[in-house]
Every structure is written in C-alpha cells, then in structure tokens.
Amino acid sequence: MTRQQLGEGLLTIGSIGVLGAAIMAIDWQARDQVSTLVQDRPLGSLGSHGAWLYGMGSSVLDTVRYQSIEHAPLTVFFVVAMVLLLFMIRT
C-alpha cells in the first residue's frame, strides 16, 4: 500500500466520520441509535449489530424523507447539483 493510497483511505474514513457527526448533530433519532449502540451492546453480538444497522438505516431514511419534504427547493437543487457533478467527473 502506497502512501497516497493510505492518505486517500484516511480521508475517506474521516469524511464518513464527519458526515456521521453532522447527521447525529441534526437528528435526535440518529443520536439515540448511536448512544444505544455504544452503551448497551456487547461487542461480540453480530445479530444485534445487524438489527442496529437496520434501525439506523431506517432512521436516516426517515430523516432524509422529512428534510426533503420540508426543504423541497433545496432538495431539487441538491439533486441537480449531484447530476452535474457526476457529468463533470465522468468527462
């Protein structure tokens, strides 16, 4: 593994961490899900982590759905911006 690959991997993990922190700062359900995982779950139980991931995913989807209904013009702008970004990256 080269130094550049290691740096890109750390950058990816850091950006996912920042995104997770932003979601937890905005949504109380996500914050409760993470605090439940950290406090109540033993590290060895794989089944409970699957149930937690499902609950966290549904919580994030509920938040996205609610926020997109509340801020429809901003959501449309974001989707159009992402499409344009994908076209710029592709070419």
Region class of 41: left (phi > 0), else alpha (psi between -120 and 50), else beta = beta
Q: At residue 89, does pLDDT exceed 80?
A: yes
Whole-number pLDDT of residue 47: 63
Q: Are 33 and 59 in contact (CB under 8 A)?
A: yes
Q: At residue 1, does pLDDT exceed 90?
A: no
Per the listing, tokens 């359900």 go with 29
Q: Give the Å distances, CA to CA, from 89 to 10, 11, 15, 24, 83.
A: 22, 19, 19, 29, 10
Q: 84 pLDDT band (50/70/90 cuts)?
A: very high
Residue 73 CA to residue 31 CA, distance in Å, equals 27
In this structure, what token pair is assigned to residue 24? 């937890």
Please write the tens of the pLDDT for every residue from 13-61: 888 888 888 888 887 777 887 777 677 655 556 566 677 778 777 877 8
pTM, to two decimals: 0.46
